[in-house]
Amino acid sequence: PAPNPLAKPPASSTPEPPSGAQPTCETAGVVNTITAIVAAWQTSLAYRILTGAGEVEPRISTFDVWTGQTRQIAMPPRDPNCPACAHRSCRHLSGEGRPPISLCGRNAVQIHDRHRPVDLPALAQSLAPLGQVKENGFALRFINPPYELTVFPDGRAIIKGTTDPALARSLYSRYIGN
């Protein structure tokens, strides 16, 4: 019989890290030169793939910009029970299980735990009496001083005017919904 696409995949032998266990670029920062190195490396690999100039070996590469050391290790074989490798389920990329994050130096909090689409034109209509609204199909910006909310169709939002995640979540709930 055909596999049930809604069935829960079997447990992976690779444990899932707890939410927020690792620092992010927003929470810990990043040395700006590494972003250029990684972008150049990925672009070169993409050129190889697109031009057919050779196979790209599946490897994990590390670059230490302080010491100048690089290291490559072969990718381990795919785990048949891994949600990402075998089932193409990438919960963390879709924002599941991620707490609101106060964005470094921006007086803003990013909320990305809503998992249903937002009808931006309908939201624009409901918010119009409450403040200034701009919507273009890709994002909605709502300004009700001292706060500014930028909402995306997937439900993510950036709440400017606070660094308090609890207040940001309250504003999200008040203006966008649960």
Active-site residue set: 25
Phi-psi region of 128 (alpha: psi -120 to 50; beta: other; left: phi over 0): alpha
Q: In which element (H, E) is residue 170 found?
A: helix 165-175
CA–centroid distance for 120 within its chain:
20
Q: Is the Cβ–Cβ distance between 142 and 133 less than 8 Å?
A: yes
